[in-house]
Chains A and B, each alone.
Chain A
Amino acid sequence: MTAKRKLNYAYYPGCSLHASANEYDLSTRALFDALNIGLQEIPDWFCCGATPAHNVDELLSLSLCAKNIDMAEKVAPEMAVACASCFSRMKFTHHILSKNETKRRQVEKAIDAPVTLSGDVKHILDILARDFGLKQLAKAVKKPLQGLKVACYYGCLLTRPPEVPKLDDCEAPTIMEDLLHTAGAETVQWTHRMECCGANFTLSRPAVVIQLTNAILESARAAGADCIMVGCPLCHGNLDIRQEEIENKHRTSYRLPVLYITQLLGLAAGLPAEKLGLDSQMVDPRPLLKSKGLI
């Protein structure tokens, strides 16, 4: 089955996608299947260490990722990652180990395997926009997302620091907008698309997170967005799960659905709502999508 497909990737879901961001996993698999892109889950994958490991023990952090990369290389030459945080850690590992021979030797000893770094690590945004391509995607659009005004939210890790992920322009990326325009949606120009949501502090310093995410939601609303689109389960958690708390704290009401890139593209590709996990979000996106005639 997979051999017949033009594009094949070793899929690294990461912990979030098997838990709180289950709908991201669901929609990614459904979308890739609909687009006929091969996605084979790496057998026996484990945590990438994000976000505590690299703050505590660099060798541990590098080794966790290096082992996962090693296992991925046995599945397919390129690894597909959906979570921005896992993506960042994998890319960092790739970057550091390809530049630092000493660390590379330490990691090889720790994981008891050679670090070849022969395969690349790619975020699904990159796969969709470049490997699969916007032209192909345009052909796959069955139900254009007409009339939907989306605020594309990149957060901090997808493009930063500039020398590591090299996904797009570090401070003014357009890859999400390019994908959504291809799917027929409108995107809004807004000020907070690159700001931090406070992901790491979500449990330890919720007050900080609420302040940061409130600014993001406020900015998206001011720009006239119907919903926010993300490519990271941590951003999603802060913007979606905490939205009610933010509203209460700031005595306002946003009710801004937060959707994953794969959910929106999945809708455009004509996939049914239940395959995309639209029912498992705190701010229910279905009334909005219904009002736009998309489900």
Chain B
Amino acid sequence: MSRLGVFICHCGENISRTVDVERVAAEAARISGVAFATDYKYMCSDPGQTLLKNTIREQRLSHVVVAACSPRMHEKTFRKAVESAGINPFLCEMANIREHCSWVHEDREEATAKASGIVAMMVERVKQNRALPTITVPVTKRSLIIGGGIAGIQAALDIADAGHQVVLVEREPSIGGHMAQLSETFPTLDCSQCIMTPKMVDVANHPNIRLYTYAEIELVEGYIGNFQVTIRKKARSVDEDKCTGCGICTTKCPQKKIPNKFDQNLGMRSAIYVPFPQAVPNTPVIDRENCTMFKTGKCGVCQKVCGPGAIDYTQQDQLIIEPVGAIVVATGFDLYSIDKKPGNSPYDGYGEFGYGTIPDVIDGLTFERLASASGPTGGRILRPSDGREPKQVVFIQCVGSRAREKGISYCSKICCMYTAKQSMLYHHKMHDGQAYVFFMDARVPGKNYDEFWRRAIEDEEAVYIRGMVSRLYQKGDKVMVMGSDIAVGVQVEIEADLVVLATAVMPQPGADLLAQKLGISYDKYNFYSEAHAKLRPVECATAGIFLAGACQGPKDIPESVSQASAAAAKVMTLFARDTMEREPIVARVRENTCVGCFACKKVCAYGAIEEKEIRDRQGNLIRKVAYVNPGVCGGCGTCQATCPSKSIELEGYTDEQIVAMIEAL
């Protein structure tokens, strides 16, 4: 006979405000099999857990129900507590009377009745729980990093330096990400290339890092400690082992008029190219869409001039399978464009700014390429339209950001600082020029950040205008900026030579598709969701997958680097042991009724179902039945719902338990 203990938590006032916890405890005490029921202010606190443990011993309890918050919050806490008091942890269940009850109801009477019902159901369910042994699985001490920007590079170097193998996958032909595009970085104005390229070289030379550039994630299978990742290495058309990086192919390529994405399409590149001189690896890629050889079958210049014979037009995409134990997602960001959006887009463009048709209206990254010493103008700030030096530059902040009517309500966080920096860079290069900045608010918290912003105004003579811009239009060779100055209460009109828009930081295109491959959650903007906004900021809710950098939300360089190192630390914690424990909430097969139809095998998302042969004593095959590999099973219950002969059941969720729960109501 079971001796059940029921513990009702007040959660401060979170539950007791709407639920009469004492009455729920009194009603629970009357349920058959319940030996003890009580309520307490904070069950998860140290005295709360001590109460739980002492009561288990004093009352000789066999099963426990804690009625409190969601099991996602504290199931682990309470199972650990009951285990230390000598009960198998899987004989403890949580009844969620907070998220499912007190938080969503107002009527005290009804909420109390519902809470009692939830508790009664969990009591009936836990009665039929079995004591389960924890499953241990080996940990593959290799990690996958997706994205080779500053966050991915930092995480890769940290993990590799700790002595673990790292697989780094980058979609573009070179690692470096957006940081490699920047000119100088706030708040110290050190050159981005100078601090970034040594790290890129470290990645390339690190014995523990295997680098795949021009590659994408095709498929992710498995679970924490034991992922199988299929990587599509796109055909580079250049043999990486033979290529010496001499660059003669790129200089001889006759097709030279292709806008270079790395230079925000300001500069031109050839069809066979390295995106920028400091690229890692320094191995060119043939852009097959623009290559004459691939388009017409006639050319082959690069192959003729290549000394080592590295050019291979027949190269195919390769699929590579890598086993890893942990994954760090660091796919970074992209910028909102003001162009007209297609009809199905959740965003609107900026028709009032000409939908991107005015050539001298550029975004922040384009300005970075203009200001960069390695950029298409060699660091001279020249207008895209006629190559003249702009004498009046208008910077506009919050374009797309904090604009609910345009579809984005969040703050992009980095723009206040980089706009201040860009106004300074402009002033440094053009002493007789004037920078204007339209801003809503200056959001510059951070070490030495406010000082930096003040410097832009006080020492570097940028004119800051608090207000919005309503319209941009071309007038002759000027861009007319119509705005408001709300501090003075007047309308402002500026004849600008160049307008720089601080457009919103958004996730990379396709971020949602990658999330679906990884099985991680993302918000309505496609930013990846952390497991807990405050206490688990670098972990995904999916075990074994971690987040670093701007793929989780807008971030500047120091923050991305910090988060990358934090994610690396989490990976190293996982790798500190050879095996890890898994929850034994897995499916099991009743072999004597299984007919071997393997409908379960077809629906299993984890590939956990195997075919098991049943043989007689002579070794003759009698029949085949399903077998669940407990190390792989994700405990989702899909097989249970599918099985036509009801021969497969999930631990803790058997049909008998579900029926008992319904009957308890």
Contacts and interface: CB of A to CB of B under 8 A. Distances in A.
B340 A172 contact: yes
A245 interface: no
A171 B480 contact: no
A194 B405 CA distance: 18
Contacts of B351: 169-172
B234 to A, nearest CB: 37
Interface in B453-493: 471, 473-475, 480
A162 interface: yes
A280 interface: no
Given A162-B405, A172-B355, A191 B480 contact: yes
Interface residues of A, number: 10
B470 to A, nearest CB: 9
Given A162-B405, A169-B340, A172-B340, A191 B352 contact: no
B355 A191 contact: no
A171 B350 contact: yes
Contacts of B474: 191
B495 interface: no
B477 to A, nearest CB: 14
Contacts of A162: 348, 405
A191 B475 contact: yes
A214 to B, nearest CB: 14
Contacts of A191: 473-475, 480
Nearest to B493: A215
Contacts of A169: 340, 351
Q: Is the interface of A mostly helix, strand, loop or mixed?
A: loop
A169 B471 CA distance: 15
Contacts of A172: 340, 351, 354-355
A13 B350 CA distance: 33
Contacts of B473: 191
B407 to A, nearest CB: 11
A220 B640 CA distance: 72
Contacts of B480: 191
Interface in A167-219: 169-172, 191, 194-195
Q: Is the interface of B mostly helix, strand, loop or mixed?
A: mixed
Interface size on B, as a range, is 10 to 19
Interface in B320-379: 340, 348, 350-352, 354-355
A129 B351 CA distance: 21
B583 to A, nearest CB: 46
B468 to A, nearest CB: 14
A80 to B, nearest CB: 26
Contacts of B352: 171, 194
A251 to B, nearest CB: 21
B604 to A, nearest CB: 45
A194 B351 CA distance: 10
Nearest to A193: B473
A163 B475 CA distance: 30
A155 to B, nearest CB: 14
Nearest to B475: A191
Nearest to B354: A172
B43 to A, nearest CB: 42
Contacts of B475: 191
Looking at B351, B352, B355, B475, the one whose CB has the most chain A CB atoms below 10 A away is B351
Nearest to A163: B405
A141 B474 CA distance: 34
A171 B470 CA distance: 11
B235 to A, nearest CB: 41
Contacts of B340: 169, 172
A162 B341 CA distance: 14
Looking at B471, B474, B480, the one whose CB has the most chain A CB atoms below 10 A away is B471
A194 B472 CA distance: 12
A172 B355 CA distance: 8
B535 to A, nearest CB: 38
Nearest to A171: B351
Contacts of A171: 350-352, 355
A86 to B, nearest CB: 24
A154 B473 CA distance: 16
A172 B405 CA distance: 16
A272 to B, nearest CB: 39
Interface string A62-80: 0000000000000000000
23 contacts: A161-B405, A162-B348, A162-B405, A163-B405, A169-B340, A169-B351, A170-B348, A170-B351, A171-B350, A171-B351, A171-B352, A171-B355, A172-B340, A172-B351, A172-B354, A172-B355, A191-B473, A191-B474, A191-B475, A191-B480, A194-B352, A194-B471, A195-B471
Q: Which 4 A-B pairs have the closest CB atoms?
A: A171-B351, A172-B351, A191-B473, A171-B352
Given A162-B348, A170-B351, A191-B475, 11 more contacts: A162-B405, A169-B340, A169-B351, A171-B350, A171-B351, A172-B351, A172-B355, A191-B473, A194-B352, A194-B471, A195-B471
